[in-house]
Amino acid sequence: MLTTRQNRFLELLRSYIQLHGDSPTLSEMKVWMEENDWGPVASLNSVKQYLDALAEKGLIERESRKRGITLTDGEVETKKIPLVDSRVSCGSGSAFIEDTASDFLEVSKKLIRNFNNAFAFRCEGDSMNEAGIDDGDCVIVQPQSNDIRDGDLVLANVGDCGIVKKFKRSGDTISLLPQSSNPVHKPIFLHSSDEGAIVGKIVSILKS
């Protein structure tokens, strides 16, 4: 199952291949999207996330070479996971899911094969657009992950609201860093004693 924008991306990819006789590079696909009324594309990582989604859903295959995209009609096994909306209060762990799940998303089992209790979180705003997460995108979260490292993207519960940020630890300070082209967004700092506010690790991004 494709979202509306994923389906539109697939159609643009198909039209590019039909017109040019070959698949595009990330840069060429970004330009192609903007030339075909998509609107500004924040980064090449945004293009990559759409390709990742199509690959996970069996609709394209990719080789490790330039222009290595091939359209397919494949099918993949899927699973429903809880969808948490960013506009509701947040808890942590299983309570986070039970209290705030508003719907379910059907995703490829490849995305969650090694992650127990994974759930999806719908993001709002542009504070992570340079990490390829735009307004309306969903992220898949592995709750209470024990392997969070500097540079990982995490979902945190701050002020009774779920936020997605880049994780960094320095001594007793945990920094939650925006990755945005909009300078209005500022880092959030927590003490190491507040580490329980980290709900989980972002393991995948689903473009809207």
Residue 167: closest CA among 179, 159, 176, 158: 176
Choosing from 23, 92, 127, 204, which is the catalytic residue? 127
- 15 part of the active site: no
- Cβ–Cβ under 8 Å, residues 62 and 51: yes
Residue 128: closest CA among 25, 205, 39: 205
Choosing from 57, 165, 166, 201, which is the catalytic residue? 165
- Cβ–Cβ under 8 Å, residues 154 and 201: yes
CA pair distance 134, 1, nearest whole angstrom: 20
Alpha-carbon distance values, 38 to 6, 29, 53, 86, 172 (Å) = 12, 11, 18, 25, 44
- 79 part of the active site: no
Residues classed as catalytic: 127, 165
